[in-house]
Structure 1
Amino acid sequence: MTEIAVLGTGRMGASVAHRLLDAGHPVTVWNRTAVRTVPLQRAGARVAGSPADAVRRAAVVVTMLTDATAVDAVLSGPHGAAAALAPGACLVEMSTIGPAAVRDLARRLPPAVDLVDAPVGGSVAAARAGQLRVFAGGAAPAVERVTPVLAALGSVRHCGDLGSGAALKLVLNTALLVAVTGLADTLAVAGAVGVDPRTALDALAGGPLAGALARATAPDADFPVALAGKDLDLVRAALAGAPAPLVSAARTALAAASDPTADIATLVTREYL
């Protein structure tokens, strides 16, 4: 089995680490808030005191962090992981940071270390069940080398060169967030014109917003509004001023949400769901 380090054990990172442990891999974990590593330690993971300590023996290092700033701090900050990566190791960047940040990261890694960007589709339940969709970008030999590890998490799609997985993830998150905010407006219209909630939901379940409706009613999803807003900011930066009014409208809806820590499904009125 492969020696793996997981840096970042929030809800998604912890779910990934648990799944890798269940698959039989030896896993070392690190998290800025150490208490979040306790359940993983009980499950058999080794807990490291710093990112550098976590990665020294690892053949594969997974980062699952909030944003590019957090990735940079964990890799290049005090006791950072980058300088401690072993020659021949592969860093698998699973955070949603966008393709530009991935390519910048590649320039700052030691030359004997490979990088694969591998953001995912799916939430914590899919991670624990090994049903994520993994979008991998990078050189073919590097992606092939880490595919047996990533396959424990779900289906793996090699999207192309480095940054291509991160790019596809932005496309998918744009579709998701525009659709969920569109569903919120659609249900507001249904309420305004007096359509029975059950009738509206049944009709929408067979229409173009069926996927958004399924996501809004999923009981085990976890995509906080604040992180969704961060992702749309990445999208808007990538657009470089090109008009995208629906993206702008979705970002405005996220900014107006009452609880930025809640799942994006809370954008949709509870009256209907």
Structure 2
Amino acid sequence: MDTTSQKIAFLGLGSMGRPMARRLLDAGHPLTVWNRTAAKAAPLVEAGATLAANPADAVRDADVVITMLADPAAARAVAHEMVPALRPGTHWIDTSTIGPDAGRELAAMLPEGVTLTDAPVMGSVDRAATGDLLILAGGDTTPVAEILARLGTVTPCGGPGAGAALKLVLISAAIAGVAAVAESLTLAQSLGLPRELTLRTLGAGPLGGAVGRVLATGSHFPVALAAKDVALATTNAELPLLETVHRFLLTDPSLLTEDLAAVAR
């Protein structure tokens, strides 16, 4: 079934939201966008999207709503504004990384006839632009399967909240891996070993993926958001290693807006 006639509202146009929204616009979907800083929507508006003044106006006529927001507080604030305007039959896809607890809060706010799929993503801006994200989906994705397929590959995770839960597991492991590479480089430097040699040999072992992330140039995952994700994980279990990683990420405030790879400089 061709779903390009479905009206989509996309809320949250940060470094990930913009390329994701652009893929849906380029696929022919009627697209309404909203972002707290409206100027970030300018390229999408120039390409044919409609800019909404607030979250409620964005979703009022939407068949599908997609949110990509920074943290649980932002998700709650947007939900309080937009939920009263959702029509029965609307499907809401939340791709934010907010954890299962906040996801359950959002689901409890929904009016009858509106569904919520938690679908956080793995991958950075480069993969968002090419539609190669890994989408971790909790709940029934059948009504929005074609739309999700334009953004990446869907991994069904189970019932509602399961996608949000698995995202915390995967992203925490990835961030811890980058932190381990950073400390390994510090140790290598103290021992007089060349950085290139250290990275090459680390990359040939179990930390190969983390080394690749350290060397990636097409990614932008701010250290502040990485710290937020790790903090979400540590509220769900006793995780001494991740608590240390969280402190490590906050050591240098000047890096908070830079990509996660900056911690390995």
Q: Deviations over 1:67-105 (max 9, x none)?
A: 1111111121xxx11011111001101111000111111
Output the CA distance in 1 between the equivalents of 2:155 and 2:48.
29
Partners of 1:236 and 1:65 in 2: how far apart? 20
Q: Distance in 1 between matches of 2:117 and 2:170?
A: 19
Task: Write the deviation string for residues 103-157 of structure 1: whole angstroms up to 9, x where unpaired.
Answer: 111111111100000000001111110000001101x3xx111110010011011
> What does residue 254 of structure 1 align with?
249
Which 4+ stretches in 1 moved above 2 angstroms?
Answer: none
- In structure 2, the gaps of 5 or more residues are none
1:61 counterpart SS class: strand
Shift of 1:59: 0.9
Aligned residue in 2 for 1:268: 264
Measured on the aligned residues, the alpha-carbon RMSD in Å equals: 1.0
- Picking from 27, 43, 48, the partner of 2:31 is 27
TM-score relative to the length of structure 1: 0.93
Q: Over residues 194-242 of structure 1, what are the superposed CA-to-partner deviations in whole Å (9 max), with x where a residue is unaligned?
A: 2222221221111111101100111011111111111111111111xx2
The aligned counterpart of 1:134 is: 135
Q: Percent identity?
A: 47
Match of 1:8 among 5, 12, 16: 12
SS at match of 1:159: strand
- Alignment map for 1:172-251 (pairs within 5 Å): 172-239=170-237, 242=238, 244-251=239-246
Residues paired across the two proteins, number: 260
TM-score if structure 2 supplies the norm length? 0.96
Asked whether the equivalents of residues 255 and 263 of structure 2 are also in contact (C-alpha less than 8 Å), the reply is no
- Could you say which residue in structure 1 is the equivalent of 2:63? 59
User: Residue in 1 aligned with 2:163?
Assistant: 165
Aligned ranges for residues 16-95 of structure 1 at < 5 Å? 16-76=20-80, 80-95=81-96
Q: Which amino acid aligns with 1:226?
A: A
Higher mean displacement: 194-203 or 105-114: 194-203
Distance 1:25 1:206 in 2: 43
- What do residues 8-65 of structure 1 show as CA deviations (whole Å, max 9, x unaligned)? 1111111110111122211110011111111110111111111111111111100111
